[in-house]
Structure 1
Amino acid sequence: MKLYVVSDGPPSLAVRMALKALDIPYDLVDVDFIAMEHMTDDYAKMNPQKEIPVLDDDGFYLSESIAILQYLCDKYRPDSNLYPKDPKQRAIVNQRLCFNMAFYYGSIAPYVMAPIFFDYKRDPVGLKKLNIALNVFETYLKRGGTKYAASDHLTIADFPLISATICLEAIDFSLKDYPLIEQWYSTFKSEYPELWEISEGGMKVISDFEKNPPDMSNFSHPIHPVKKN
């Protein structure tokens, strides 16, 4: 099994945490985002979306981190409580996974990550969307009354939510107005230090890029406007 990743990519970090938590052996393959290795024809054979990560399970190629998380549990650890079998419990996990992709990280990435790599600015509209997403997550934690995002125990729903939240820590965004998120985040760090170590490494890379933006002058993208140094 091989996992193609980018070192600071939250979706990549989420899958790496799951593989470690599930104790599944694999080879890590770093993809150089700035060198555009993900935009090559060879990479497109694995993932026509040309996005990262991609799982290669003995010639079975799977993209989209949520699908990868679900697949790993279903195939290799079907009895793991990281992905519960009870329909209602699993539905909550699936909902949190979708919430992160479409709403939570969907608000964090444009505000934090895009301005680091592309010619975007952090503006009041982006900040408002981010705070709306944080408020919703805070509400889920309050209504659920659980220690983790979807249960009183860790599930695969926590991995992408954690790896999204590291982006905020990387730019020193305070979570003081969101005490339940702050508590959930610190609880994960203290209870799962070996998993946190994976996300912390990515967070430090993002933090370094925030302070010293990478040279993207030779980078080209079909949609995003590229910074010119």
Structure 2
Amino acid sequence: MKLYSVSDGPPSLAVRMTLKALNIPFELVDVIFNNGEHLTEEYAKLNPQKEIPVLDDDGFLLSESIAIMQYLCDKYAPDSPLYPKDPKQRALVNHRLCFNGMFYYASIGAHCLAPMFFDYERTPMGLKKLNIALATFEEYLKRLGTKYAAGDNLTIGDFPLMTATLCLEAIDFSLDEYPLIKNWYETFKNENPDLWAIAEGGMKELAHFEKNPPDLSAMTHPIHPIRKVNK
């Protein structure tokens, strides 16, 4: 099994945490984002979307981090509480996965990561959308009243929410206005140090790029405008 991954990418980090939590051996293949390795025609053979990560399980190629995490649980740990079988419990986990991908991480990525790597600005509207996303997650935690995002035990629903939230730590964004998120975030760190070690590595890279913008001038991106870095 191979995982094509970028070292600071939240979706890649979430998949790596899943593999670690399930004790699945794999080969980590680093895709150098800043060099545009994911934009090559060779990489497109793995994933026509040219996005990261991609799982290669003995020739079975699968992209999209949520689908990868679900597949790993279904195939290699069907009885794991990380992805419960009970329909209502699984529905909550699936909701958290979808909520993150379509709403939470989308707002965080636009505010934190896009200006870090590309020619986008942090705007009042982007900040407003970010706070709406945080307030929504805070409300979900309040309504459920459990330790983790989808219950009292850790699930794969927590992993992408965690790797999205670490982007906020990387830019020194305070979670003081969202005490339930802050408590959930710190609980994850304290109770899962081996998983946090994976996430923390990515967070520290992002924190470095926040203060030292990467030079992407050699990359031609088909969608995002490249930010010029003064040398």
> Which TM-score bucket, shorter chain as reference?
over 0.9
Q: Does 1:105 align with 2:110?
A: no
Which residues in structure 2 correspond to 1:115-134 (within 5 Å)? Answer: 115-134=115-134
Structure 1 CA distance for aligned equivalents of residues 82 and 222 of structure 2: 37
Root-mean-square deviation over aligned CA pairs? 0.5
1:185 is aligned to 185
Structure 2 CA distance for aligned equivalents of residues 55 and 217 of structure 1: 29
How many Å apart are 1:218 and its aligned residue? 1.5
Structure 2 CA distance for aligned equivalents of residues 48 and 139 of structure 1: 37
3-state SS of paired residue (1:46): coil
- The letter of the residue matching 2:74 is D
Kept in 1: contact 2:35–2:216 (CA 8 A): no
1:195 is aligned to 195
1:48 is aligned to 48
Structure 2 CA distance for aligned equivalents of residues 112 and 25 of structure 1: 32
How many Å apart are 1:220 and its aligned residue? 1.0
How many Å apart are 1:133 and its aligned residue? 0.2
Structure 2 CA distance for aligned equivalents of residues 218 and 36 of structure 1: 8
Structure 2 CA distance for aligned equivalents of residues 188 and 222 of structure 1: 37
How many Å apart are 1:103 and its aligned residue? 0.4
Structure 2 CA distance for aligned equivalents of residues 127 and 32 of structure 1: 29
Structure 2 CA distance for aligned equivalents of residues 132 and 146 of structure 1: 21
How many Å apart are 1:209 and its aligned residue? 0.3
How many Å apart are 1:38 and its aligned residue? 0.6
1:159 is aligned to 159
- The letter of the residue matching 1:224 is H
Q: Deviations over 1:179-222 (max 9, x none)?
A: 00000000000000000000000000000000000011111111
2:227 is aligned to 227
Structure 1 CA distance for aligned equivalents of residues 41 and 214 of structure 2: 24
How many Å apart are 1:35 and its aligned residue? 1.0
Give the TM-score normalised by structure 1.
0.99
Structure 1 CA distance for aligned equivalents of residues 58 and 38 of structure 2: 20
Structure 2 CA distance for aligned equivalents of residues 184 and 34 of structure 1: 32
3-state SS of paired residue (1:85): coil
2:70 is aligned to 70
Q: Deviations over 1:138-191 (max 9, x none)?
A: 000000001000010000000000000000000000000000000000000000
- The letter of the residue matching 2:123 is D
2:143 is aligned to 143
Structure 2 CA distance for aligned equivalents of residues 133 and 98 of structure 1: 13
Kept in 1: contact 2:15–2:65 (CA 8 A): yes
How many Å apart are 1:41 and its aligned residue? 1.1
3-state SS of paired residue (2:149): coil
The number of equivalent residue pairs is 229
Kept in 1: contact 2:5–2:31 (CA 8 A): yes
Structure 1 CA distance for aligned equivalents of residues 91 and 198 of structure 2: 27
Give the TM-score normalised by structure 2.
0.98
1:16 is aligned to 16
Q: Does 1:58 align with 2:92?
A: no
How many Å apart are 1:34 and its aligned residue? 1.2
- The letter of the residue matching 2:22 is L
Structure 2 CA distance for aligned equivalents of residues 101 and 156 of structure 1: 13
Which residues in structure 2 correspond to 1:86-97 (within 5 Å)? Answer: 86-97=86-97
Structure 1 CA distance for aligned equivalents of residues 53 and 21 of structure 2: 18
Q: Deviations over 1:50-71 (max 9, x none)?
A: 0000000000000000000000
How many Å apart are 1:25 and its aligned residue? 0.4
